[in-house]
Amino acid sequence: MSEETVDPRGKILKDRLIGLGIFIFAQIIFILLDGTGWEPNVRDTDIINRILNAKLFTEYFHFYSYPFFNFVTFVFLIAILLSLLADVLSIIFKRK
């Protein structure tokens, strides 16, 4: 039996492209829903209101008129960046 060697960079690239595709799909949905009456209802609790109405999401990171979309986009971008950083570090410090 022959063993196939799997290129770890190819797997990493495939995983990153899937994540990027999901992010782009979510952004398209957010663009279509922003400013319409189809925006999701978020409970008006004190903690959620403080997060969504923070200066970061109302002034600095303001892509959408609905603050929940700004928050989800921000969290998704942070997750993508942390994942990319972990992949780069694993490639750099890989043991042979």
pLDDT at 90: 87
**pLDDT range class, residue 24, cuts 50, 70, 90:** very high
Between CA 10 and CA 35 the distance in angstroms is 39
Taking every pair of C-alpha atoms in the chain, what is the biggest distance, in angstroms? 61
Average pLDDT over residues 88-96: 82
CA-to-CA dists, residue 29 to 16, 58, 64, angstroms: 20, 20, 12
Which 8-state DSSP code applies to residue 44?
-
Say if CB 68 and CB 44 are below 8 A apart: no
Which 8-state DSSP code applies to residue 36?
S
Total Cβ atoms within 10 A of residue 66: 18
Block residue for tokens 């829903």: 33
Average pLDDT over residues 43-53: 83
